[in-house]
Amino acid sequence: MHIKLIPLQTHGDERGALISLEEGKNIPFSIKRVYYLFKTKEGVRRGFHAHKVLKQIVVAVRGSCR
């Protein structure tokens, strides 16, 4: 498995901050589907399946993942 950290540029002012994800700009592959995972309880493990030919980006909005 090859993991690469992609730096994402933050934009913002006194109102708050945002990061945009754009295919061909800061996402180096075609975007086919987007998933939002939320309300996962602490200690719960997810994702025990394989995608053999797939490129993914994971953004931890709050909390962490490994």
pTM value is 0.64
Residue 29 pLDDT > 80: yes
The stretch 43-53 carries a mean pLDDT of 82
Quick check: is 49 catalytic? yes
Residue type, 41: K
| pLDDT tens per residue, range 32-46 | 888 888 888 888 888
The stretch 50-56 carries a mean pLDDT of 81
Annotated active-site residue in 2, 11, 49, 51: 49
End-to-end CA distance of the chain: 13
Residue, of 64 and 23, whose pLDDT is higher: 23
User: Is the separation of the CB atoms in 46 and 36 below 8 Å?
Assistant: no
